């Protein structure tokens, strides 16, 4: 896939980078809190201005003096964003004035030799003393600063007008396959970001043994064997009673929204631990949303194994997640890379199955055979009948069955019909929706 021009937003912590990112991409994509260090991973979004389209990257705060692990990783991710960017926006705090860290970040940017615009943020009132003080940032040696208010949108148009001449010519996206959107979900510390980094082939998500390291949903575009994917790396989903901060509440909400907008959800489980109630709940959320599902049992390298261990684990997962027994399971180690390459192959298969359409003639051949082999059981002297069916939708596959006494059809019989459809047409990894419609035969 051809890439759009890239603009990286960088700066020291808590100067309003995420607020500016949200303003440019036109929505609350990045979490904004009055707390340093909220953004840690790189976030990507598209900005459209005066007929041009480019990618904007939000980054964590850069503190060259920090030694704490997450801060160091956050800085490394910001530097990676600068390396891949065509233009950099350095955000500074107009109310605080020139800070020593601003000078250090400016020096770091000069090292990369990329075009830089200085956005002096938090200039909410153009008549305030801070508006005039914005020009103190000439001292950074990066050209004419642009006073803006990301909160109110003031002067962001001028910033974009200054930005456009610095961008390479925008290239129209290449026509081709629609990317498969893949949500990587699971409870905290099961290895979601490690799996993403393995799939991408570089560190695009911060990895730490501290639960809750990922907070935003990170969209990452990759391509494998000609098939484009968008990976949505999400925050760990804890039980509602365990979510104890506004930032984490927003993170869990966005993980749930990622499920809503994905084609296939990869639910990451910790194979070194027992399946938890939260694991079941997350799988249930995917199932109820009607999304394709792949189960990834991570940390397989930590499990003591015999020749039958994988079979034993698979049977256990099938039993404890019986409502989603259609989902394929792959046992991987994101740490060593073992079997990680199988994940995207399964995702592609599941996405194709979720979009599968069955010819009406074939569908009714399978239904008639299933009903002939096992007619619907009578209930209180009433004999329901299944006459025929039609497919009415995909993602997930949906079928309307025309019946008599539809209310008397037991859910176990519908499960039987669903299994016969799976035997005939596959549908591996995707839920199936069966809807009943009353049809009485004429006397």
* pLDDT tens by residue, 215-239: 445 677 888 888 889 888 776 565 5
Q: How confident is the model at residue 130 (pLDDT cuts 50, 70, 90)?
A: low
Q: Which has more confidence, 74 or 259?
A: 259
3-state secondary structure (DSSP) of residue 396: coil
* pLDDT tens by residue, 56-87: 888 877 776 655 554 555 566 677 778 878 99
Separation in Å, CA 184 to CA 96, 188, 214, 300, 348: 39, 12, 12, 18, 14
Mean pLDDT of 173-182: 73
Q: What is the pLDDT of residue 55?
A: 83
Q: How confident is the model at residue 170 (pLDDT cuts 50, 70, 90)?
A: low
Q: Are 162 and 146 in contact (CB under 8 A)?
A: yes
Residue 356: CB atoms within 10 Å: 16
Q: What is the pLDDT of residue 210?
A: 36
Q: Which residues contact 105 (CB under 8 A, 6 or more apart)?
A: 10, 11, 12, 62, 64, 90
Question: Angle at Cα 420 formed by Cα 415 and Cα 424, nearest 5°?
Answer: 145
Question: Angle at Cα 204 formed by Cα 200 and Cα 205, nearest 5°?
Answer: 115
pLDDT at 427 over 60: yes
pLDDT at 315 over 90: yes
Segment (H or E) for 109:
helix 100-112
Q: Pick the range with the lowest mean pLDDT from 54-58, 199-203, 244-248.
A: 244-248
In the block, which residue shows the tokens 């003080």? 133
What average pLDDT does the chain have? 83
pLDDT at 117 over 90: yes
Q: What is the largest CA-CA distance in the chain?
A: 91
Separation in Å, CA 369 to CA 248, 336, 359, 394, 431: 51, 48, 16, 23, 22
pTM for the full predicted model: 0.61
* pLDDT tens by residue, 7-22: 999 998 889 998 999 8
Say how far apart CA 224 and CA 228 lie, in whole Å.
6
Please give the backbone phi and psi of residue 280, each rounded to the nearest 5 degrees, phi first: -65, -40
């Amino acid at each position: 896939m051809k890439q759009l021009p890239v603009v990286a937003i960088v700066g020291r912590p808590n100067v309003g980078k995420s607020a500016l990112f949200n303003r440019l991409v036109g929505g609350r994509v990045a979490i904004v809190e009055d707390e340093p260090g909220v953004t840690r991973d790189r976030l990507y979004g598209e900005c459209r201005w005066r007929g041009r389209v480019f990618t904007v990257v939000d980054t964590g705060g850069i503190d060259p003096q920090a030694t704490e692990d997450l801060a160091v990783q956050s800085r490394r991710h910001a530097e990676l964003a600068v390396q891949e960017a065509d233009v950099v926006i350095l955000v500074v705090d107009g109310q605080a004035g020139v800070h020593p860290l601003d000078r250090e970040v400016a020096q770091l940017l000069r090292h990369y030799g990329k075009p830089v615009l200085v956005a002096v943020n938090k200039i909410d009132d153009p008549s305030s003393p801070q508006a005039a003080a914005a020009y103190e940032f000439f001292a950074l040696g990066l050209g004419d600063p642009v006073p803006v208010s990301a909160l109110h949108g003031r002067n962001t148009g001028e910033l974009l007008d200054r930005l456009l001449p610095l961008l390479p010519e925008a290239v129209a996206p290449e026509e081709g396959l629609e990317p498969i959107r893949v949500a990587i979900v699971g409870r905290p510390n099961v290895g979601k970001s490690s799996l993403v980094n393995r799939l991408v082939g570089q560190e695009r998500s911060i990895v730490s043994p501290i639960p809750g390291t990922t907070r935003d949903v990170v969209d990452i575009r990759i391509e494998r064997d000609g098939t484009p994917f968008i990976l949505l790396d999400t925050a760990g989903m804890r039980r509602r009673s365990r979510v104890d901060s506004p930032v984490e509440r927003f993170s869990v909400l966005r993980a749930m929204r990622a499920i809503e907008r994905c084609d296939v959800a990869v639910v990451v489980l910790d194979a070194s631990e027992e399946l938890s109630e939260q694991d079941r709940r997350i799988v249930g959320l995917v199932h109820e949303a009607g999304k394709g599902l792949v189960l990834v049992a991570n940390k397989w390298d930590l499990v003591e194994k015999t020749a039958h261990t994988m079979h034993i684990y698979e049977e256990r997962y099938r039993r404890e997640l019986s409502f989603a027994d259609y989902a394929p399971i792959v046992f991987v180690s994101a740490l060593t890379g073992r079997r990680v390459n199988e994940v995207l192959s399964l995702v592609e298969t599941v996405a194709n199955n979720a979009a599968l359409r069955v010819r009406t003639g074939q569908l009714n051949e399978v239904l008639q055979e299933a009903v002939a082999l096992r007619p619907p059981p009578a209930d209180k002297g009433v004999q329901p009948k299944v006459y025929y069916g039609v497919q009415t939708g995909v993602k997930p596959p949906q079928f309307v069955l025309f019946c008599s006494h539809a209310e008397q059809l037991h859910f176990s019989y519908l499960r039987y019909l669903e299994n016969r459809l799976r035997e005939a047409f596959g549908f591996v990894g995707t839920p199936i929706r069966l809807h009943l419609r009353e049809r009485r035969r004429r006397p």
